Amino acid sequence: MSSCLRNLRRDARPPRRQGGAGAGETSLRPSTLILAATVGLALFVLAIRALAALFAGA
C-alpha cells in the first residue's frame, strides 16, 4: 500500500527539466506568458484611451 502511494505521489510531481535553461533558471509556462501578454495589452489599451480622452478634452 505504501509503495502504491509513493508511486502516485511521484507521478503527480512535474518532471524535472534538465538542460535548456541555465542552472537554477526556470522557464515560464505558456499560460503565464499568455496572461502577461493579455494584461500588458489591456494596460496599453487603457493608456491609449486615457491619452485620447485627455487630448479630446483639451
* Interatomic CA distance for residues 35 and 39, integer angstroms: 6
Contact present, 46 and 52 (Cβ < 8 Å): no
pLDDT of residue 25: 58
Number of H helices, E strands in the chain: 2, 0
Contact present, 42 and 35 (Cβ < 8 Å): no
Give the predicted TM-score (pTM) of the model: 0.50
pLDDT of residue 57: 79
**What are the pLDDT digits (tens) for 41-55?**
999 999 999 999 999
**What are the pLDDT digits (tens) for 4-28?**
777 777 666 666 665 555 555 567 7
**What are the pLDDT digits (tens) for 28-37?**
788 899 999 9
